[in-house]
Amino acid sequence: MEMNVRAIYLIAIMVLLFLLQVLIIEAQSPVYLGDVNCDNVIDEKDLTKLQNYLLKKEKLSRQEKLRADMNQDGEITVLDLLKLSKYIHYISE
Ligand SMILES: [Ca+2]
Ligand SMILES: [Ca+2]
């Protein structure tokens, strides 16, 4: 009986540590603003994806939403689309 309780504690601690590790890794991974589709390039494809999201044609994951929020105000709006569009046209000139 005693052994079982210990084993459960041990497993619970291991699960907690694992979850903590996942959270830490996620917090540490840099967020590339503007790279909505996560392909490490900021281009028209990201713009299209963001546009589709705003038009409700496409859904974005949590990570994609973080990347799409260009002005970092916690919401994804047409302002973010404008900012991304300006950025893409600036770097392509
Ligand atoms: Ca991209
Ligand atoms: Ca925003």
Which of the ligands is closest to the CA of residue 82? 2
CATH of span 31-93: 1.10.1330.10
- Distance from the CA of 76 to the center of ligand 2, in angstroms? 4
Domain spans of the chain? 1-30, 31-93
pTM over 0.75: no
Which of the ligands is closest to the CA of residue 40? 1
- Distance from the CA of 42 to the center of ligand 1, in angstroms? 4
Per-residue pLDDT of the chain (93 residues; tens, 9 = 90+): 677 999 999 999 999 999 998 888 777 666 689 999 999 899 999 999 999 999 999 999 999 999 999 999 999 999 999 999 999 988 777
Q: Give the DSSP per-residue string, the chain.
A: -HHHHHHHHHHHHHHHHHHHHHHHHHHHSPP-TT-TTSSS--SHHHHHHHHHHHTTSS---HHHHHHH-TT-SSS--HHHHHHHHHHHHHHH-
